[in-house]
Amino acid sequence: MPADPPTNAPRSRKGERTRTRLLAAAKKVFEEDGFLAARITDISKRAKLSHGSFYHYFDSKEQIFRELAEMQEQRLTAPIPVGDRHSSSPDDSPREQIHKGNRRYLELYRDEARIMGVIEQVSRYDAHVNAARMRSMKHFVERAEQAIRDLQRRGHADPNVDPSIAADALGAMMGRFAELWLVQGYRDYKFEEALEQLTILCGNALGLPAKPPAARRRRRRAK
C-alpha cells in the first residue's frame, strides 16, 4: 500500500518550503530518537514552527515518516544520470558495470544509514513502510533481471542461471548485507574491500568471465 497522500498539500512556494522544513526536521528527529520515541512536538520545534503548523501539512507522525521512507526508497532506485561517475560506459566489462551499480547503492545507503536503520525497523511492523521497501526491492530486481537476461543473450553470463531467482537472491544479499554492515555494525569492513568482494560474489554467481589481472588490463588499454 503506498504512503498516505498529504491531506493538505501546500499550494504556494512558501507552503512547499515549510513542508520541506518539516520533512528535514522529522528526518533528524527520527534519526536521533527512533520512530517510537519521536514526538510531533520535537519535529515542530526542530523546524522552528508551531505545533499546530505540523497538522496543516501532515495528519500524524506515521504519515510524515511514511513519506520520508518513500523519498528514501526513491533515492536508492533513481536512474543513474548520464555522465555520473557511476554510469556505465560501452567500454565497461560486465563486472565493471556491476561494480559501478554496487558502489552507487552502497554509497547511497551508507550516506543515509541512520534513517535507513529506522526505516528497516519500522518496515517490520508498518505495512505502508514495508510496501515502500518492497517496491524498492522489486524495482531493483526487475532491472537486475533484465540486465542478467541481456548478459546471457550476449554470451557473458551462465545460461543455466535463472534470471528471476538470481536477481531476487543477489538483491536480497545486497540489501541485507548493507543493513548488517552499515546500520547494525555487525562487522567493520573497509568500504572498497567490501565493494570488491560483493562484486566478485555477484559476478561469480552469474558465471561472468574472471576479472583480468591489472597488468593485463593496462596492456589491453595501451593497444
Q: What's the pLDDT at 3?
A: 45
Q: For all residues of the chain together, what is the average pLDDT? A: 88
Q: What is the DSSP letter of 22?
A: H
Q: How far is CA 188 from the centre of its chain?
A: 20
Residue 98 or residue 15, greater confidence: 98
pLDDT in tens, 38-89: 999 999 999 999 988 999 999 999 999 999 999 998 888 887 776 777 677 7
pLDDT digits over 174-213, tens only?
999 999 999 999 999 999 999 999 999 999 999 999 866 5
What does pTM read for this prediction?
Answer: 0.81
- For residue 94, the model assigns a pLDDT of 94
Is 13-64's fold the same as 73-222's? Answer: no
Cell of 76: 536508492
Q: Provide the CATH topology of domain 13-64.
A: Arc Repressor Mutant, subunit A (1.10.10)
The C-alpha cell at 34 is: 527512533
Return the H-helix or E-strand segment holding 123.
none
Q: Which of 78, 203, 204, 69 is nearest to 140 (CA)?
A: 78
- pLDDT at residue 117 tops 90: yes
Cell of 125: 511492523
Residue type, 107: E
| Mean pLDDT within 26-46 | 96
Q: Where are the domains of the chain?
A: 13-64, 73-222
Count of Cβ atoms closer than 10 Å to residue 22 Cβ: 23
What local confidence, expressed as pLDDT, does residue 88 receive?
73
Cell 504512503 -> residue: 3
Cα–Cα distance measured from residue 172 to residue 163, given in angstroms and rounded to the nearest whole number: 14
- Which of the four pLDDT bands, split at 50, 70 and 90, describes residue 10? low
Render pLDDT for 127-181 as a digit per residue (tens, 0 to 9). Answer: 999 988 888 888 888 999 999 999 999 999 999 999 999 999 999 999 999 999 9
Q: Which homologous superfamily does the CATH classification assign to the domain defined by 73-222?
A: Tetracycline Repressor, domain 2 (1.10.357.10)
> Which position has the grid cell 567500454?
91
- How far from each other are the two terminal CA atoms of the chain, in whole angstroms? 54
